[in-house]
């Protein structure tokens, strides 16, 4: 499994490698980065030299010095421990998401035993109801040896305005697992998309379970999630949809275009797109509702 980032504790690194030359520093960093991404190193000198970007002569001069930083068989116990810790965190977050999703699915099935799986509820919750549990959410705090960067705190705050602290951390960790770490702008966009669901925490669980990079309202509709009612909706045809601004995920809108028979996306006078709060019937006799 390829991993986009690895922890590097600078003080510990410098304490362990103060005796290395500049070339040996470069070779050692390349070796441990390969170890992190692949879970280990080969044992053949020729392959190790290629990973370290060293010539045979350079490797012969530095091999013994670099080998002292590993256990027998080129095993790095510190990296093994970090890999296990990262896997444990990812596994626990996924297990919690699965459990929460199963609980909600069971509750939905009990409320409407005759509904088909993935069927969209007949009406969306009001925005006041969907937002009641999100008033004045605490900003989650990061833990660890290094101080969090200001941008990291702003990313957490962006999600904290929509999700519970636990879910905010789970979404951030999920994007790192996908090798798509969030910028502040991307976090705000994703948070605004999750907020369109009546239950944003459930939308975040669905995103993690399906392995999605982002979230679009129509995906949640397909999975049986209700959308939050938006201000300014009326009883007209526009009231059957949710107006949102364009998002930076063209694949989501391509999928919706295909579901609508390839027709252009509907827009209003402001240029906003309208995402339907319920999808058209799938039976051959039923026709698609007017957007």
Asked if 33 and 8 touch (Cβ cutoff 8 Å), the reply is: no
Position 92 scores a pLDDT of 77
What's the pLDDT tens digit per position in 182-238?
Answer: 898 988 989 888 988 888 998 899 899 888 889 888 787 777 788 775 444 443 333
Asked if 261 and 281 touch (Cβ cutoff 8 Å), the reply is: no
Residues 6+ apart with CB under 8 A from 248: 186, 189
Question: Does residue 12 register a pLDDT over 60?
Answer: yes
Position 66 scores a pLDDT of 96
What mean pLDDT comes out for the span 243-272?
A: 56
What's the pLDDT tens digit per position in 111-153?
Answer: 555 554 554 444 444 444 445 444 555 655 555 444 445 788 8
Topology (CATH) of 10-75: Arc Repressor Mutant, subunit A (1.10.10)
Position 254 scores a pLDDT of 63
Q: Which residues pair with 98 in a beta bridge?
A: none
Question: Does residue 45 register a pLDDT over 90?
Answer: yes
Higher pLDDT pick, 276 / 195: 195
Question: Does residue 1 register a pLDDT over 70?
Answer: no
What mean pLDDT comes out for the span 245-262?
A: 57
CA 211 to chain centre: 8
Asked if 216 and 246 touch (Cβ cutoff 8 Å), the reply is: no
Position 114 scores a pLDDT of 53
What mean pLDDT comes out for the span 68-86?
A: 91
Question: Does residue 290 register a pLDDT over 80?
Answer: no
Position 70 scores a pLDDT of 95
Question: Distance between CA atoms of 166 and 143, rounded to whole angstroms?
Answer: 13
Question: Distance between CA atoms of 9 and 42, rounded to whole angstroms?
Answer: 24
Question: Distance between CA atoms of 18 and 20, rounded to whole angstroms?
Answer: 6
Q: Which residues pair with 58 in a beta bridge?
A: none
Position 72 scores a pLDDT of 92
Asked if 54 and 23 touch (Cβ cutoff 8 Å), the reply is: yes
What's the pLDDT tens digit per position in 261-272?
Answer: 655 555 555 555
Question: Distance between CA atoms of 198 and 203, rounded to whole angstroms?
Answer: 9
Position 144 scores a pLDDT of 47
Position 145 scores a pLDDT of 47
| Mean pLDDT of the chain, nearest integer | 74
Helices 22-38 and 77-111: crossing angle, nearest 10°? 30
Position 217 scores a pLDDT of 80
Position 126 scores a pLDDT of 47
Q: Which residues pair with 273 in a beta bridge?
A: 244, 267
Q: Say which range, 64-78, 90-104, 153-167, 229-243, has the weakest mean pLDDT.
A: 229-243
**Domain extents for the chain?**
10-75, 82-276
């Amino acid at each position: 499994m390829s991993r986009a980032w690895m922890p590097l504790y600078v003080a510990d690194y410098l304490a362990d490698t103060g005796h290395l030359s500049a070339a040996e520093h470069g070779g050692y960093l390349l070796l441990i980065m390969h170890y992190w991404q692949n879970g280990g190193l080969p044992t053949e000198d020729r392959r190790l030299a290629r990973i370290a970007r060293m010539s045979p002569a350079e490797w012969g001069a530095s091999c013994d010095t670099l080998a002292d930083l590993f256990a027998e068989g080129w095993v790095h116990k510190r990296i093994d421990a970090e890999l296990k810790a990262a896997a444990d965190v990812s596994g626990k977050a996924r297990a919690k998401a699965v459990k929460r999703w199963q609980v909600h699915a069971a509750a939905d099935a009990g409320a409407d035993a005759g509904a088909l799986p993935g069927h969209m509820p007949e009406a969306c919750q009001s925005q006041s109801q969907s937002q009641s549990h999100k008033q004045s959410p605490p900003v989650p705090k990061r833990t660890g040896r290094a101080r969090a960067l200001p941008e990291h705190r702003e990313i957490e705050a962006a999600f904290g305005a929509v999700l519970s602290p636990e879910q905010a951390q789970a979404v951030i960790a999920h994007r790192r697992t996908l090798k798509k770490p969030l910028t502040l702008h991307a976090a705000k966009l994703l948070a605004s998309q999750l907020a369109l669901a009546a239950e944003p925490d459930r939308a975040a669980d669905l995103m993690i379970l399906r392995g999605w990079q982002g979230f679009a309202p129509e995906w949640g509709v397909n999975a049986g999630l209700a959308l939050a009612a938006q201000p300014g909706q009326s009883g007209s045809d526009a009231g059957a949809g949710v107006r949102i601004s364009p998002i930076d995920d063209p694949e989501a809108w391509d999928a919706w275009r295909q579901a609508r028979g390839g027709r252009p996306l509907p827009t209003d006078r402001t240029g906003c797109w309208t995402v339907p709060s319920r999808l058209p019937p799938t039976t051959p006799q039923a026709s698609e509702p007017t957007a």
